[in-house]
Structure 1
């Protein structure tokens, strides 16, 4: 009789746990959040760490970086400063931008952009990419070297790292800054004819194999993406809006983020002026981490929505995050009428349809289902 009672109570407990789990899942599915989140970051990046929490890093105008933690990707706790640069032993002076943190073998590695103090020609933009390491996602992060990862001979920003499970290699992606990089194109000819600008500077995205210990690169960087030369190119209209609207005399290709789906490499990137309303996101695909990449027909996949009655502009510098249930989200910054010039964080659902097209359901400012993170 005692055995039968034990079995009965175990069955009741099992049913109760199952009902509780179902109730939690149903409550999560019914719960909503609304963009933008209460985090004022540019260039946001989210890491899901070994402790099960999410950590968000971004550009905040500080002399270094801070992070926020969350258990649900929606409510974020300020964890304070994680890295400080600009001191005597640092290679970096100022302009700390676009941090990304990767967990490898129990350590956390912070890749970031900053102005290099080694500047004999006194360049106004002397950006390079560095790495700092910590034992925890909240730091403190210490620079691995007293110099950047490498020096290509021109200013670079927006590091993104991809670890390829197939060949065991890792790759560093970055954007060559527009600074002192005038490029001949039909858009540049148009700007000169209009009397708007004598030249148009451009930023281009490169990729290069990264040494496993992050102390340098292997081989030469490969040019992967750049703005179209011809105004008849299907990508030229959206990638040139900051110029054709006479907002600024630069065309950017920056903020890259790469991931793999089946046998295709997807590289997401941002175009136009990060401080303006036309900042937008597109993507390109390839069969190899170093290309060649082909830009997608359905670009841009994320842009301002003011023409549709919304109040979001300046959407860009995104990253993609896949959850354990297979759902994909993109994390990016934007601006609203209420937030003004301050960049704030948005999180929206993204997906790949049956034809391989990447689609972002955003920007949204209406209630959205809370992500299922467990």
Structure 2
């Protein structure tokens, strides 16, 4: 009897140790990698990195006529911070009763001299002609990245006379700041060979387009300096190598619009890069391209390897609608990441956040994505460093 009990305890102990070891190994593997999509339902994701913390902002995500945020130490595990901007702050200028719930879209937050500035687009309540799309760009400020953000003024940053969305601010090395934005397709029919083709084939009578502009910002963000400069637009001629991928929403007969939107600008090795998204944001063909220039307002030349991120379903993958990206870096600053929204077979129509590594070399951007398989953690995270050490690397 004693021998039986002893044998039972020995076997039980060995089994528990084996199970514990398996659990530890599984946890180690889980912590040493991440997979897309992240568990965040944002459109237009933007990441701010400040004081060893990452903060993510985006469209939707449960915010009620405003914006919410998430925080993270490693870009992979995110904590909800709740709503950080409300439309009804003391200087609120938007109309929450307008179409699309006021259209609180594409927030981006920048740290300047200890303050945090949130740029965004929304429906302007000043709308005497009752336009369906009356979007403008606003800016709000807070002492913390988690808000609460209060509008700097009771009106948009500026009024170009047409609807604008997707604000992105670039701070140049000479201290100047530039605002990039997208003029909406709304009531903006444009003559082009694709428009002629669409009409000839009976697809659409006209093709509306959105174009990206850039303009210098006043140092206090109270307005702009000079007139906006057109920096990007869809191709006019079908022979243009960019025409095929930037016209897919039209050739697929999705909608009579061609978009150039969701831009993000950065500088590397004295070259200015502007990334942008084309095609219908609600469709499968939403994709990312880029252009380069030697000055912040161009002229920009689109890259020969566009698009650099697009759906992978034609290659057996499950990701579509890849677009409206921002750019961020790993904790140690050695790796560059493209942060974007997409849809997957599992997430359906919900836009979810993905991050994939990107490289910029000799004027060429490449993105290692879209991915849904396990990836190494961003370099410089404690877990990634520990994992590398344990492997003797």
Q: Normalising by structure 1, what TM-score?
A: 0.90
Q: Is residue 117 of structure 1 aligned with residue 125 of structure 2?
A: yes
CA–CA separation in structure 1 for the residues paired with 2:270 and 2:335: 19
Alignment correspondent of 1:16: none
CA offset digits 1:267-289 (Å, max 9, x no partner): 00000000000000000000000
SS of the equivalent of 2:36 reads coil
Superposition deviation, residue 88 in structure 1: 7.8
Alignment correspondent of 1:164: 172
CA–CA separation in structure 2 for the residues paired with 1:325 and 1:250: 38
Q: Is residue 103 of structure 1 aligned with residue 111 of structure 2?
A: yes
Alignment correspondent of 1:348: 356
Structure 2: runs of 5 or more not aligned: 1-27, 96-101, 382-393
Superposition deviation, residue 196 in structure 1: 1.3
Q: 1:82 aligns with which of 71, 81, 84?
A: 84
CA–CA separation in structure 1 for the residues paired with 2:303 and 2:88: 40
Q: Is residue 53 of structure 1 aligned with residue 61 of structure 2?
A: no
CA–CA separation in structure 1 for the residues paired with 2:380 and 2:151: 32
Q: Is residue 34 of structure 1 aligned with residue 35 of structure 2?
A: yes
Q: 1:240 aligns with which of 239, 247, 250?
A: 247
SS of the equivalent of 1:237 reads helix
Superposition deviation, residue 321 in structure 1: 1.1
Alignment correspondent of 2:148: 140
- Is this contact kept in 1: 2:334–2:379, CA < 8 A? no
Superposition deviation, residue 28 in structure 1: 9.8
Q: Normalising by structure 2, what TM-score?
A: 0.86
Q: Is residue 327 of structure 1 aligned with residue 328 of structure 2?
A: no
Q: Is residue 314 of structure 1 aligned with residue 316 of structure 2?
A: no
CA–CA separation in structure 2 for the residues paired with 1:141 and 1:127: 19
Pairing 1:117-266 to 2, within 5 Å after superposition: 117-165=125-173, 167-266=174-273
CA offset digits 1:103-131 (Å, max 9, x no partner): 01110000000000000000000000000
CA–CA separation in structure 2 for the residues paired with 1:29 and 1:330: 22
Q: Could you say which structure has the larger radius of gyration?
A: 2
SS of the equivalent of 1:268 reads strand
- Is this contact kept in 2: 1:62–1:96, CA < 8 A? no
- Is this contact kept in 2: 1:351–1:360, CA < 8 A? yes
Superposition deviation, residue 29 in structure 1: 12
Which range is displaced more, 78-87 or 326-335?
A: 78-87
Q: 1:29 to 1:39 in 2, by over 3 A?
A: closer
Q: 1:290 aligns with which of 278, 291, 297?
A: 297
- Is this contact kept in 2: 1:162–1:259, CA < 8 A? yes
Alignment correspondent of 1:11: none
Superposition deviation, residue 89 in structure 1: 4.8
CA–CA separation in structure 2 for the residues paired with 1:310 and 1:279: 15
SS of the equivalent of 2:236 reads coil
- Is this contact kept in 1: 2:91–2:152, CA < 8 A? no
CA–CA separation in structure 1 for the residues paired with 2:163 and 2:236: 22
CA offset digits 1:233-279 (Å, max 9, x no partner): 00000000000000110000000000011110010000000000000
SS of the equivalent of 1:121 reads coil
Q: 1:172 to 1:183 in 2, by over 3 A?
A: same
RMSD: 1.5
- 4+ residue runs over 6 A deviation: 27-30
- Is this contact kept in 2: 1:28–1:372, CA < 8 A? no
Superposition deviation, residue 325 in structure 1: 3.4
CA offset digits 1:77-96 (Å, max 9, x no partner): 00001001157852111110
